[in-house]
Structure 1
Amino acid sequence: MRLDKFLKVSRLIKRRTLAKEIAGQGRITVNGNPAKASTVLSVGDEMVIRYGQKIVTLQVTSLKEAAKKEEADNLYKVVSEEELN
């Protein structure tokens, strides 16, 4: 599944166009490599996202084409969260 679609389906980022923009700015890495919106994700991939003053490390646990709000949290596991000063 494409990175931008996963971010939208998992509700980590609200809109797919915003996910593309953030990936284009180099604020997302997958398995240690800079990721584009078109990067293909697999179960077990580790993703690091930089949101403003926060860095979140996630592990992809499931891939679905669509997920209900209640199921969205089951698509990933938060490995760590750190604040930037």
Structure 2
Amino acid sequence: MSRTRSAQPDPRATLRGGLPDRYLTPDDIAELFGVPLETVYQWRKKRTGPPGFRIGKHVRYDPADVYAFVAQQRAEADAA
């Protein structure tokens, strides 16, 4: 018997079609950018990735902040 994922949509498809209506997890960020989860934690530690915040012991990312981070990265790449 195969397990199915929860009914949550793929965060990459959601961001392309509009901002999701929930805060993103580090796993979502790793999946969005196609990087290992450890990379997401290193970005946070070095303050080089999208800004996150804590809710208790959990890290979350506001989709609007992630979208702004991507826009900034694209603008910097276009300017270079």
Q: Which interval holds the TM-score relative to the shorter structure?
A: 0.3 to 0.5
Larger radius of gyration: 2
Greater share of helix? 2
Greater share of strand? 1
